[in-house]
Amino acid sequence: MAVQINPSILSADFARLADEAEAVRGADWLHVDVMDNHFVPNLTLGVPIVESLSKAASTPLDCHLMIEDPDRWAPQYVEAGAGSVTFHAEAAAAPVRLAREIRAKGARASMALKPATPIEPYEDLLPELDMLLIMTVEPGFGGQAFLDIMLPKIRRTRELISKHGLELWLQVDGGVAESTIERCAEAGADVFVAGSAVYGKDDPAAAVRALRARAED
């Protein structure tokens, strides 16, 4: 299972996004947290910034949409240049139709689950997805403590992926750091989002390498 490290620009300097993207050269994807102040109590950025960043950055964009009505908005993020678009299960009116639309437009389709949302009701949807994101904090802010109580859900999800013989990636997001990444990897995650544990460090590229080394252990 190949390990991927996706730095979250939520912890970067928003006035210098192109430079901050370059600062994590060697990362697999840039994780872009889109928040609308409705689905989560925070507001970040939207389609125009994603469009500019996708042209400026050499790393592909992994857009995590923490927004209401992703059925309406997610396709626009594909058109803006995102290589992967994640919508929340709790917000999507028609997740199968939306995943198919994202794929048809040429991006990887991904669905996220908040901590209190179980994976089991979505078992039959997994073949429609390229990635499943398990939140390991309540979405909305960077720098929160990792929720250990999510480890069994990561494990159960990995078992479902294996049972169905699927290729989909299993991403974790929230509180991922050198102290927690090994537990996530051991439970079956293979794509790791890290904000403060990368951009909070003096050398973000070295932080990416250190996280990768721990996850590959």
Question: In whole angstroms, how close is the CB of 8 to Zn ion at the nearest point?
Answer: 6
Q: How many CA atoms lie within 13 A of 150 on its CB side?
A: 29
Name 87's Cβ contacts closer than 8 Å, sequence gap at least 6: 65, 70, 71, 74, 95, 98, 102, 110, 111, 112
Tell me which residue of 168, 174, 127, 128 sits closest to 150, measured CA to CA.
174
Give me the 159-178 binding string for ligand DX5, x by CB under 6 A, dash otherwise: --------------xxxx--
- From 19-27, 84-92, 102-110, 136-144, give the range in contact with ligand DX5 by CB under 6 A: 136-144
Was 83 annotated as part of a binding site? no
Tell me the Cα Rg of the chain.
Answer: 16
Task: Establish if 44 lies at the interface with ligand DX5 (CB under 6 A).
Answer: no
Tell me which residue of 143, 94, 138 sits closest to 117, measured CA to CA.
138
Strand order in the sheet with 61-66: 4-7, 191-194, 169-173, 131-135, 108-113, 84-88, 61-66, 30-35
Compute the distance between CA of residue 137 and CA of residue 165 in angstroms, rounded to an integer.
28
Please say if 33 is a catalytic residue: yes
Q: Which is nearer to Zn ion, 42 or 159 (CB)?
A: 42
- From 12-20, 48-56, 145-153, 167-175, give the range in contact with Zn ion by CB under 5 A: 167-175
Q: Which of 184, 194, 207, 215 binds ligand DX5 (CB under 6 A)?
A: 194
Give, as one character, the DSSP assignment of residue 89.
T
Q: Which of 28, 54, 62, 64 binds ligand DX5 (CB under 6 A)?
A: 64
Please say if 173 is a catalytic residue: yes
Question: In whole angstroms, how close is the CB of 86 to ligand DX5 at the nearest point?
Answer: 9
Residues that bind Zn ion (CB under 5 A): 33, 64, 173
Residues taking part in catalysis: 33, 173
Residues that bind ligand DX5 (CB under 6 A): 8, 10-11, 31, 33, 64, 137, 139-144, 173-176, 193-197
